Amino acid sequence: MASDEHVTAVRAFNRFYTGVVGALAAETMYTPYSLTEARVLWELAHATSEGRQSEAVELRRLLGLDAGYLSRIMSRFESEGLATRERSAADGRRQVVTLTDAGRSVFAELDKRSDEQVRGMLAGLTDEDAGRLVSAMTVVRRSLTEGDRAGAALVIRPPRTGDLGWVVFRHGALYAAEYGWGPRFEALVARIVADYADGHQPAREAAWIAEIDGERAGCVFCVRKDDETAQLRLLLVEPSARGHGVGGRLVAECLNFAREAGYKRITLWTRHVLTDARRIYERAGFTLDGEEPDEEEGRPLVNQVWSMDLA
Same fold, 31-123 and 154-309: no
Question: Residue 231 forms beta bridges with which residues?
Answer: 223, 267
Question: Residue 307 forms beta bridges with which residues?
Answer: 267, 287
Q: Report the C-alpha gap between 219 and 196 in whole angstroms.
A: 14
> In the prediction, which pLDDT does 61 show?
82
Taking only the tens place, the pLDDT of each residue in 180-191 is: 999 999 999 999
For the chain, what percent of residues have pLDDT higher than 70? 91
Domain ranges in the chain?
31-123, 154-309
Task: Choose the weakest-confidence range: 23-37, 81-95, 265-279.
Answer: 23-37
Instruction: Classify the C-alpha dihedral 175-190-266-256 as positive or negative.
Output: positive
Question: Residue 156 forms beta bridges with which residues?
Answer: 210
At residue 30, the 3 state secondary structure works out as helix
The correct answer on CATH 1.10.10.10 for the domain covering 31-123 is yes
Taking only the tens place, the pLDDT of each residue in 152-162 is: 678 899 999 99
> In the prediction, which pLDDT does 152 show?
61
**CB of 43 within 8 A of CB of 59?**
yes
**CB of 223 within 8 A of CB of 231?**
yes
Instruction: Classify the C-alpha dihedral 254-259-263-264 as positive or negative.
Output: positive
pLDDT above 90: residue 17: no
- CATH number for the domain whose boundaries are 154-309: 3.40.630.30
